[in-house]
Structure 1
Amino acid sequence: MASVTSRDVLARGFRVLGRAIRDEPRIFAFAVGGSVLFGGLVVGSAYVIGHIVGKIIVPAIEDGAVNNALLWLGALAVLAISVFRVVGIFGRRLGAGYMQFRLQARYRRLVTGRYLDLPLSWHHRHATGTLLSNANSDVEAAWFPIAPLPFAVGTLVMLIGAVGSLFLTDWVLALVGLTTFAGLFLINVFYSRRMAPRQARAQLMRGEVSAIAHESFDGALVVKTMGREGQETDRFAGQARELRDALISVGRLRGLFDPLMETLPSLGTLAVLLVGTFRLRAGDISVTDLVSIAFLFTVLAFPVRAIGWVLAELPRSVAGWDRLQHVLTATGEMRYGTTSPEKADSPARLAFDNVDYAYPLGAETDDMAAAATGEEHGPTVLHDISLVVPEGRTVALVGPTGSGKSTIASLAVRLVDPATGTISIDGHDLPDLTAAALADNAALVAQIPFIFDDSVRANVALDRPGIDDDAVWAALRLAQADEFIARLPEGLDTMVGERGTSLSGGQRQRLTLARALAGRPRLLVLDDATSAVDPRVEAAILAALRGGEQPTSIMVVAYRRATIALADEVVYIEHGRVVAAGTHSELLSTTPGYVDLVTAYERAEAEREREHAYEEGAVTA
């Protein structure tokens, strides 16, 4: 990511603004038109007020009589200027707000679309909270200066007009005005250069705090189970304090800058009055000229601040833009091929051949670690994995926690690519297949189900072509989910809530399984995808998959003995290596580690059943 320095922040900030103008030229022109109308009328109102004072008020005081015709003319002029200034303000604000929100919406969609395109290996290197921050606060920061930008452009036009009118009125007072405007510009340049690193730091810390907060909420159960609430609280508090300090640093500098921006135009007005009084006494200017120029400086104080607002937000905008570009220009490491075989009606054959895999280092530490070790990946977690899932067969992956089973499942559907070795479906290496061909042939159902805040139908069909209600119900029957869906108030039209909050854990798992089955995959990979389902229902699901109308080869990450016993072959994994392969009965007689693991799961399940029975008995009593 490009760094934000004090020297180039203005140039880079203006390039970001230029990008916004190129994206929305018509809306920007509309907003600037309103701003220019407002600015021109501000300058015009100063001279109207000057003429009213010089031509109406002063003669009335001197003569003791008021010229009613001139008075009404002056009142109408003030009223007309006020009405058109309101029109200018409305056009400026409406255009600026519409442009800002359109840009934010567009770039949120671009960032989200890029997330969907990037491979899982890229996501492994970035915390979820950081990605949320990119799509939210970074997008807002990048386009925050858009709100005052049309006002600032109109103010520049107004300043040019004001300086021109000053020179036409009196060159001495014009020099006073130039000095004031130059002072405002220098203060803004100084402020922007000092603010750049502070804003960049604050924007970075927003992402860090968001990342830690998301990790803590998402992993709340793990944190509680491991008793690490205190450590997580300390970790979050440390980052929050750094964010607080960064924002205080920004606020302190802004607290120094804002009074200067308020004071300088007032000092300019005072200087105009002092110099103008001497010029008036010398007969070089009239009362009308002095009042017009003094009033002009008074009304310029607020519009001139719009320039300061834009310049003040440029460092934050550049920081947000750089973080957006880190996402939008990311390519990842995954490339798809051009092979797209016609989808067969028979199950697929999956083969791993001498596969190794190492997870990539995190984005926050990869540069340091790579420099120290010369490697871009962490330790290897899979070693020389070779296994086959034959056509129409069920293969169970069994192993202790952390042995690499879920990694194998991800590799099987090419969420990630191996470091070495090959993985193929029906003899086609996965990198040679197109993305569509791979998605048509293979599907993964993860252990943690994700349900969209939508209807049952939408969660299963996902707007895929050819999946009508009949196909949805067929998939639900295979997943043993049709009965509870039929009992829902609105059937397929029932809204299930954010992440399926209205459903139980087992129901959510069966719904995500139905989603995968609706695409009629020839290879189904189940990463402990039925762990929350009753064992009898799980057995019915596997039996339906094996003997149903939809022929499928199955790789299942399994823990329960009943599930393992249903598999045609079991592959036992320890420390990222295939230790043994065979039927369940064969491994029970030949592999001590497998026996210990399977019986440990049985003992744990029996203990849970006893606790459940005890709780039910206590409630009944």
Structure 2
Amino acid sequence: MASRTSRDVLGRGLAVLGRAIREQPRIFAVAVAGSVLFGGMVIASAYVVGTVVGDVVVPAIARGSVGVGTLALAATALFGISVLRVAGIVGRRLGAGYMQYRLQAAYRRRVTRRYLELPLSWHHRNATGTLLSNANSDVEAAWYPIAPLPFAVGTLVMLVGAVASLFATDWALALVGLAVFPALFTLNVVYSRRMAPRQARAQRLRAEVSGIAHESFDGALVVKTMGREAQETCRFADRAGELRDALVSVGRLRGVFDPMLETLPSLGTLAVLVVGTFRLRQGAISVAELVSVAFLFTVLAFPVRAIGWVLAELPRSVAGWDRVRRVLDATGEMPYGDTVLDPADPRPATLTFTDVCFGYEPAEAHLPGTEVLGEVTFTVPAGKTVALVGPTGAGKSTIASLAVRLVDPRSGTVALDGVDVRRLTAASLAGTAALVAQVPFVFDDTVRANITLDRPGIGDDDVWAALRLAEADGFVAALPEGLDTRVGERGTSLSGGQRQRLTLARALAGRPRLLVLDDATSAVDPRVEAAILAGLRSSAADASAPAASILVVAYRRATIALADEVIYLEQGRVVARGSHTELLATVPGYADLVTAYEQAEIDREQERPYDDEVTPPLTSGLEIEVDR
């Protein structure tokens, strides 16, 4: 891939710039107009300076005096040109900066929106650090050449005008210019091709370093409890060292080419002076014309570098764009339908699984996928509570994800009130079903904001009603500022059980007709959990919160016993269904599993009394992983 990139980086880079121009034509036109004005004034200043030197300074030296009017006219001309040059610089820089930042903002939004559209199966195959890099440094790299682009385009116009001026002045000097400018362009092309693979590798390593850092920070609990600090530091240092070497390689190549790019215009100026002096002796040109051409080459040295800046950044731009486009062109989106369930219907919803099969796609195309569910069929009747029970890896969490359409089945149907969830609109699905995950996520915001999530129609009365149902009103009322208390990043000021009850209240505040609990009360005291589930089963618990159908992933005997029906899973298939009592008596595997869960719970409580209000977040998080 690196060789292909080095061969066509120029064409692909220009295509990326063309896309930018098509998306922001007006802003680009303003920036180019400013750059062209600046370029025109550069050429004009060269000839004004030449005229001043040839027609004012030299005669003044010969006469020993100079006229005040002549000096005033020359000064006025130079001042006017300077003012116009400043206006051109302002227009160029404002336009280029606005265009660059506007594109970066637009594509960050597009990438983020695409992340939300893609299914979880796609996210499972892509590291979080890489995704952060795509939305940040890759987008920035893709549009980095936009800053010097208008300057470069204006410089091209200026070069055409300069060459025309050179031919109008003297053909020999024009040939010097024609030799220097193509040489600059050729050198930049060679530079870009050699830089392409280095920039692509550096951009990839940036994402990998970001991914390792994010993984280490996100897994701080495991790193610290397992004593892996030194190993994680070495892992990060190794990849950071590779990134350093890649950037050094980029800098080394730039260090070779930059002096050459700087030297060529100076050599051009020297050649103009040599050839110009010879032509001056021949009488082919005047002193004013020689000074104008020499000064023109001197002032062109900096603008011509703008072309080099654009070409130098094209490899980085192409590398960033390829990584951004990989996200934008990713397949596997989950299109929603146009069916809307009646939002005013207060009745609990009916959830139906019919011959549902599901398997996770492999991380790499040549690897086999992982089959998780096979022909799963069951129903959660309206207003009933159904418990999913099974050993680790049986597919319980996958069923929970399918119920709220975080993923789609490979075959079979998942329906709410008889309507395939794939036919529902996103808003209708979100308003009907709510999932409370095993690992709670709390935003760094107030309690109120975490529960309402800016959803319309949820007032403080609704918030408190949801908190009461979740058995969370007591500890929230005891917080320093009540609903206005900020809970810290990921809810670090709360215990594990408190965070779980807060996320449960968040789901209840939306008054879902189907509530899916994926082991969502595992960090809560068993008595509190029993009170929560009992309250959820009856609308009498809170008049403002109608009863909902409940699908709960459970392992505690007390929780399972509250369910109207228990579905026992093994290896992704429904092995048995019935009441808790019936399954205990007829299914040995179920009885052994529930007994083992119960014994583990007793052992844990004997080792450490369960205190939901003071359990540190990291400890409760570890318990969740062990219990699962």
Per-residue deviation, 1:469: 3.3
Per-residue deviation, 1:510: 2.0
For 2:169 and 2:78, how far apart are their aligned partners in 1?
21
For 2:571 and 2:136, how far apart are their aligned partners in 1?
39
Residue number in structure 1 paired with 2:557 = 561
Alignment partner of 1:572 out of 564, 568, 571? 568
Q: Where in structure 2 are the equivalents of 1:586-601 lying within 5 Å?
A: 586-601=582-597
For 2:79 and 2:266, how far apart are their aligned partners in 1?
26
Which letter does structure 1 place at the counterpart of 2:305? R
SS of corresponding position for 1:357: strand
Residue number in structure 1 paired with 2:622 = none
Does the CA-based 8 Å contact 2:201-2:246 persist in structure 1? yes
Alignment partner of 1:403 out of 369, 374, 394? 394
For 2:537 and 2:611, how far apart are their aligned partners in 1?
36
Structure 1 residues 577-614: Cα deviation after superposition (integer angstroms, max 9, x where no partner): 33443333344444444444444444444454445459
1:250 equivalent to 2:250? Answer yes
Which letter does structure 2 place at the counterpart of 1:512? T
Residue number in structure 2 paired with 1:544 = 535
Residue number in structure 1 paired with 2:466 = 475
For 1:276 and 1:152, how far apart are their aligned partners in 2?
28
Does the CA-based 8 Å contact 2:362-2:370 persist in structure 1? no
Does the CA-based 8 Å contact 2:2-2:197 persist in structure 1? no
Does the CA-based 8 Å contact 2:2-2:196 persist in structure 1? no
SS of corresponding position for 2:352: strand
Per-residue deviation, 1:195: 2.1
Residue number in structure 1 paired with 2:626 = none
Residue number in structure 2 paired with 1:198 = 198
For the aligned residues, what is the CA RMSD?
Answer: 2.7
Does the CA-based 8 Å contact 1:410-1:416 persist in structure 2? yes
Structure 1 residues 280-320: Cα deviation after superposition (integer angstroms, max 9, x where no partner): 12221122111111111111111111111111111221222
Which letter does structure 1 place at the counterpart of 2:421? L
Structure 1 residues 371-430: Cα deviation after superposition (integer angstroms, max 9, x where no partner): xxxxxx512122333333222222222233333221111111121122233322333333
Per-residue deviation, 1:571: 2.7
Going from structure 1 to structure 2, the CA distance change for 1:345 and 1:29 (only over 3 Å counts) comes to same
Residue number in structure 1 paired with 2:378 = 387
Going from structure 1 to structure 2, the CA distance change for 1:347 and 1:613 (only over 3 Å counts) comes to closer
Per-residue deviation, 1:187: 0.9
1:416 equivalent to 2:407? Answer yes
Which letter does structure 2 place at the counterpart of 1:561? R
Going from structure 1 to structure 2, the CA distance change for 1:3 and 1:570 (only over 3 Å counts) comes to farther
Residue number in structure 2 paired with 1:356 = 357
1:56 equivalent to 2:79? Answer no
Going from structure 1 to structure 2, the CA distance change for 1:208 and 1:111 (only over 3 Å counts) comes to same
Residue number in structure 2 paired with 1:619 = none
Residue number in structure 2 paired with 1:374 = none
Residue number in structure 2 paired with 1:101 = 101
For 1:538 and 1:30, how far apart are their aligned partners in 2?
64
SS of corresponding position for 1:8: helix
For 1:479 and 1:175, how far apart are their aligned partners in 2?
84
Which letter does structure 1 place at the counterpart of 2:438? Q
- Which runs of 5 or more structure 1 residues have no equivalent in the other structure? 370-376, 617-621
Q: Where in structure 2 are the equivalents of 1:161-240 lying within 5 Å?
A: 161-225=161-225, 232-233=232-233, 235-240=235-240
Does the CA-based 8 Å contact 1:4-1:315 persist in structure 2? no
Going from structure 1 to structure 2, the CA distance change for 1:324 and 1:253 (only over 3 Å counts) comes to same
Tell me the TM-score normalized by structure 1: 0.90
SS of corresponding position for 1:555: strand
Going from structure 1 to structure 2, the CA distance change for 1:580 and 1:229 (only over 3 Å counts) comes to farther
Q: What is the aligned length? A: 606
Residue number in structure 1 paired with 2:147 = 147
Does the CA-based 8 Å contact 1:4-1:197 persist in structure 2? no
Which letter does structure 1 place at the counterpart of 2:182? A
For 1:263 and 1:443, how far apart are their aligned partners in 2?
66
Does the CA-based 8 Å contact 2:42-2:299 persist in structure 1? yes
Does the CA-based 8 Å contact 1:349-1:389 persist in structure 2? yes
Does the CA-based 8 Å contact 1:4-1:196 persist in structure 2? no
Does the CA-based 8 Å contact 2:525-2:610 persist in structure 1? no
Does the CA-based 8 Å contact 1:454-1:495 persist in structure 2? yes
Once the two structures are overlaid, the 10-residue window that deviates more, 175-184 or 186-195, is: 186-195
Q: Where in structure 2 are the equivalents of 1:28-47 lying within 5 Å?
A: 28-47=28-47
Tell me the TM-score normalized by structure 2: 0.89
Q: Where in structure 2 are the equivalents of 1:194-343 lying within 5 Å?
A: 194-225=194-225, 232-233=232-233, 235-343=235-343
Which letter does structure 2 place at the counterpart of 1:347? P
For 1:490 and 1:77, how far apart are their aligned partners in 2?
69
Per-residue deviation, 1:556: 1.3
Which letter does structure 2 place at the counterpart of 1:397? L
Structure 1 residues 546-586: Cα deviation after superposition (integer angstroms, max 9, x where no partner): 11241111111223333233223333333333344333334
Residue number in structure 1 paired with 2:519 = 528
Structure 1 residues 324-355: Cα deviation after superposition (integer angstroms, max 9, x where no partner): 22222334153434443425322222232333
Matched residues, percent identical?
74
Alignment partner of 1:444 out of 423, 431, 435? 435
For 1:593 and 1:227, how far apart are their aligned partners in 2?
37
Once the two structures are overlaid, the 10-residue window that deviates more, 593-602 or 196-205, is: 593-602
Per-residue deviation, 1:446: 0.8
Going from structure 1 to structure 2, the CA distance change for 1:26 and 1:336 (only over 3 Å counts) comes to closer
Per-residue deviation, 1:545: 0.7
Does the CA-based 8 Å contact 1:200-1:316 persist in structure 2? yes
SS of corresponding position for 2:5: coil
SS of corresponding position for 1:345: coil
Residue number in structure 2 paired with 1:84 = 84
Residue number in structure 2 paired with 1:373 = none
Which letter does structure 2 place at the counterpart of 1:474? A
Per-residue deviation, 1:105: 0.9
For 1:219 and 1:60, how far apart are their aligned partners in 2?
79
Does the CA-based 8 Å contact 1:121-1:415 persist in structure 2? no
Does the CA-based 8 Å contact 1:4-1:319 persist in structure 2? no
For 2:137 and 2:610, how far apart are their aligned partners in 1?
50
Going from structure 1 to structure 2, the CA distance change for 1:431 and 1:489 (only over 3 Å counts) comes to same
Q: Where in structure 2 are the equivalents of 1:117-132 lying within 5 Å?
A: 117-132=117-132
1:463 equivalent to 2:469? Answer no
Per-residue deviation, 1:275: 1.0
For 1:392 and 1:526, how far apart are their aligned partners in 2?
15
- Which runs of 5 or more structure 2 residues have no equivalent in the other structure? 613-628
Residue number in structure 2 paired with 1:372 = none
SS of corresponding position for 2:378: strand
Does the CA-based 8 Å contact 2:49-2:291 persist in structure 1? yes
SS of corresponding position for 1:5: helix
Does the CA-based 8 Å contact 2:446-2:483 persist in structure 1? yes
Which letter does structure 2 place at the counterpart of 1:49? V
Per-residue deviation, 1:259: 1.1
For 2:303 and 2:46, how far apart are their aligned partners in 1?
14
Going from structure 1 to structure 2, the CA distance change for 1:598 and 1:613 (only over 3 Å counts) comes to same
For 1:495 and 1:615, how far apart are their aligned partners in 2?
22
Per-residue deviation, 1:175: 0.7
Which letter does structure 2 place at the counterpart of 1:211? G
Which letter does structure 2 place at the counterpart of 1:475? A
Residue number in structure 2 paired with 1:432 = 423
Which letter does structure 1 place at the counterpart of 2:572? G
Does the CA-based 8 Å contact 1:30-1:95 persist in structure 2? yes
Does the CA-based 8 Å contact 2:117-2:334 persist in structure 1? no
